[in-house]
Amino acid sequence: MRLQRDGRTVDETTYESASQGERWLRTDEGWGWEKRGATDFEARDLPAERATGFTLPDSPEVPLDTLGDADDRLYLGGYSLESERTVEELLAAHDRGVEVRVLVDGTPVGGQSETEAEALDRLAAAGVDVRVFDGPPTRYRFHHPKYAVVDDRALVMTENWKPAGTGGASSRGWGLLVEGREVADELATVFEADAGWEDTAAWDRSLAGTLVEAEAESAGFPGEFDPVTAEVDSVRLVVAPDNAEEETLSLLASAEESILVKQPTIADDHAFLREVVAAAERGVEVRVLLDSTWYVEDENEELVRWLDDQAESGGLPIEARLVEPDGFEKLHAKGIVVDDRTTMVGSINWNANSVENNREVALIVESEAIASQFAAVFEADWAGEDGRWSFPVGVGLGVAAAAAGAVLVGSRLVRFD
């Protein structure tokens, strides 16, 4: 490709093939492909009044009560929306004059459920602004965050807007509710950038395609950990693919004493995994807790064995294990606690697809009280209970097969929800 002026070549570049929906641009790092409409958000320290750290399935009331308190604006971003109670709160907010907007992924792994289609139908019919990330073209492989902007508050979670997640019926998840206008405005800017481009569309049932059955609901679990509200020193909003990789690596590299990691799975060749090993090599105590559900158990056990080998051969202070669920069914949290002071919570999985191709959202909060809350939950989950988890009575093979199918095939199988 040549750039010419008056018949004279002033610049030129070459590339092997053009990527659909992307532009060939020159940056400070050289030439490369960039998706049309891609954002470039920079993470920065933002002031906040306080934050509430909470866990699921213990405190499903926190996200619901937060939506129920909306007075002016309520922007809900998600991968999926199947929770009837969440829909009721959105409709109630709309009825009392709140500006309600919803953005979810239109083509989730495994297909969109009939339950979600009905939920979006109800919202759209009531006049709520409902948009789905559908494409083409597409800036992101999946719209995978789980958050809400409610007036001057930002709610960011690891769990989906569905009974198994925010409903408290299944998953161990983490969440942060931050009170602060600047944080809320920053997250609202992300929402507006994602909802306002040509790869989203106003919801219509014709966009749904072939619908699938939703996962069976279970009765839920009694709460063990209460939410903790505390003042915070600073908050950083992290989004993928814009800045998530560099911010996560920077957080891990900053550790001086300890790192706690919770992930459903971890890709064995990912930079985040290499960074925690590097932290252990400089004397930081590292513990990694992974999910033990049957569809990820083998790969996670393999990773645990590899980390054990690193610890033994190098004399490194790093441990890893699979969770033995006590009070929940599966580990779905995606969180980090560094030096008993800094906590990162959000939708970011530790694999290349999540940080390079998806839209993801997370918060990094500086607060000893918040870090202590999540560290205590980590310790309890690390201890677990004797015995392995199996599907509870009433959850049949159809649900098991659906769960097993919700994976992406890359260098490894990766649970994706």
Task: Name the DSSP class of 384.
Answer: -
CATH number of 235-415: 3.30.870.10
User: Tokens 């989004």, residue?
Assistant: 239
Domains 48-207 and 235-415 belong to one CATH topology? yes
**Listed range (106-110, 136-140, 327-331) with the worst mean pLDDT:** 136-140
Residues whose CB is less than 8 angstroms from the CB of residue 351 and which lie 6 or more positions away in sequence, other chains included: 265, 266, 267, 270, 410, 412, 414
State the Cα torsion 286-290-292-296 to the nearest 10°. -130
Q: Which CATH architecture has domain 48-207?
A: 2-Layer Sandwich (3.30)
For residues 247 and 82, the answer to whether their CB atoms sit within 8 Å is no
- pLDDT tens digits, 218-243: 666 777 999 999 999 999 999 999 99
Residue 222, CA distances (Å) to 140, 317, 370 in order: 37, 34, 22
Whole-angstrom distance, CA of residue 138 vs CA of residue 155: 26
Q: Please, is 30 exposed, middle or buried when counting C-beta atoms within 10 Å of its C-beta (0-12, 13-18, 19+)?
A: exposed
Q: Please, is 140 exposed, middle or buried when counting C-beta atoms within 10 Å of its C-beta (0-12, 13-18, 19+)?
A: buried
Amino acid code (one letter) for 168: G
Angle (nearest 5°) at CA 368 between 367 and 374: 95
User: Tokens 């395609």, residue?
Assistant: 209
The residue extents of the domains of the chain are 2-35, 48-207, 235-415
Mean pLDDT of 19-35: 55
Among residues 25, 35, 417, 19, which one has the least CA distance to residue 198?
35
- pLDDT tens digits, 308-344: 999 999 999 999 999 999 999 999 999 999 999 999 9
- pLDDT tens digits, 52-68: 999 999 999 999 999 99
